[in-house]
Amino acid sequence: MYIKFYGTRGSTPVCDRDYLEFGGNTTCMALFREEHEDIIIFDAGSGIRKLGMELMKKEFHPTQKIIIGFSHFHWDHIQGFPFFDPAYDPSKQIELIAFGEKLRVSDLKKVLSKQMEGTFFPIQLDNMGAKFEYNLKKIREAEFRGGRVLINSHNHPGGAHGYRLEVRDKVIVYCTDIEHGDSIDKNVVSFSKDADVLIHDAQYTPEELPKFKGWGHSSWEQAIEVAERANVKHLYLTHHDPNHDDVFLRKMEKQCQERFQNCNLAKEGEIMML
């Protein structure tokens, strides 16, 4: 079982030679388990395009699904979906999910089809080809694909949710697009308790954070405090600011590791074995 990052950038994709090490694609990561088990994807930023290309080379079991879970529906978390090759393959089964007690959308299909209307995109959602299943539930937890998933509401403009996936004695917490405010959100700490891997928003430095109050993101210092208080085994910082190039992020990673040794800034293409 392993995690692979396909998009680690926040807000907008960046295409520049100074952004190659950590990557310029927006949010997307995937969890791969056994060969014939469902593939679980978190968010569909521009990074999902490369993931889709890789999946088209993979032989699927007839019962195997691709599952895409959305933390929320801001542009940088859905903009890659129209370029996801498996969505155009009639042999593929794709389940699109959004879980959370405070969901502000009532029609998942409508949200995703909006950006593919004729004004914005040449192919509409109903004409893509894959077999889609839409799964929107206002829940806090559920049995999920041989494990359990818990969902936590975040402070973020328009709302957002984090996912805690417990499977095969491993705990993976996906916690992006969150603004803690003046103090660390205690719910996020308890939600992340004893996680094997915590993937946490860290768009800003501590110095930058006050300038972006209300924008819905965290500093690396806040992410580390969550990891420390929650007894997390390994922390990945993600949702890198589009103005932070590789040199900047390399220095930032060194600062983070001086405080929390088992900490890395997520890089596109990086794989973490579980």
What pLDDT, on the 0 to 100 scale, is given for residue 144?
A: 83
pLDDT in tens, 86-120: 999 999 999 999 999 999 999 999 999 999 999 99
| CA 19 to mean position of chain CA atoms | 19
What pLDDT, on the 0 to 100 scale, is given for residue 147?
A: 87
Question: Can you tell me the distance from the alpha carbon of 93 to that of 25, in angstroms, rounded to the nearest whole number?
Answer: 25
What pLDDT, on the 0 to 100 scale, is given for residue 13?
A: 98
Entry field: residues in the chain: 274
Q: How confident is the model over 194-201, as a mean pLDDT? A: 98
Instruction: Reply yes or no on whether the pLDDT at 124 is more than 90.
Output: yes
pLDDT in tens, 153-170: 999 999 999 999 999 899
* CATH number at 2-273: 3.60.15.10
The residues pairing with 175 across neighbouring beta strands, listed in sequence order, are 200
What pLDDT, on the 0 to 100 scale, is given for residue 190?
A: 98
Tracing tokens 């999946």 back to the chain, one arrives at: 55
Helix (H, G, I), strand (E, B) or coil at 250: helix
In angstroms, the first-to-last Cα distance of the chain is: 5
pLDDT in tens, 234-259: 999 999 999 999 999 999 999 999 99
What pLDDT, on the 0 to 100 scale, is given for residue 35?
A: 80
Question: Can you tell me the distance from the alpha carbon of 112 to that of 78, in angstroms, rounded to the nearest whole number?
Answer: 8
Instruction: Reply yes or no on whether the pLDDT at 128 is more than 90.
Output: yes
Nearest CA among 220, 225, 217 for reference residue 206:
220
Tokens of 218: 């965290």
Q: How confident is the model over 128-132, as a mean pLDDT? A: 97
Q: How confident is the model over 10-25, as a mean pLDDT? A: 97
Do the Cβ atoms of 83 and 52 come closer than 8 Å? yes
For the chain, which residues make up each domain, given as ranges?
Answer: 2-273
What pLDDT, on the 0 to 100 scale, is given for residue 254?
A: 98
pLDDT in tens, 34-43: 888 999 999 9
Question: Can you tell me the distance from the alpha carbon of 224 to that of 195, in angstroms, rounded to the nearest whole number?
Answer: 13
Question: Can you tell me the distance from the alpha carbon of 50 to that of 157, in angstroms, rounded to the nearest whole number?
Answer: 28
pLDDT in tens, 168-179: 899 999 999 999
What pLDDT, on the 0 to 100 scale, is given for residue 2?
A: 96
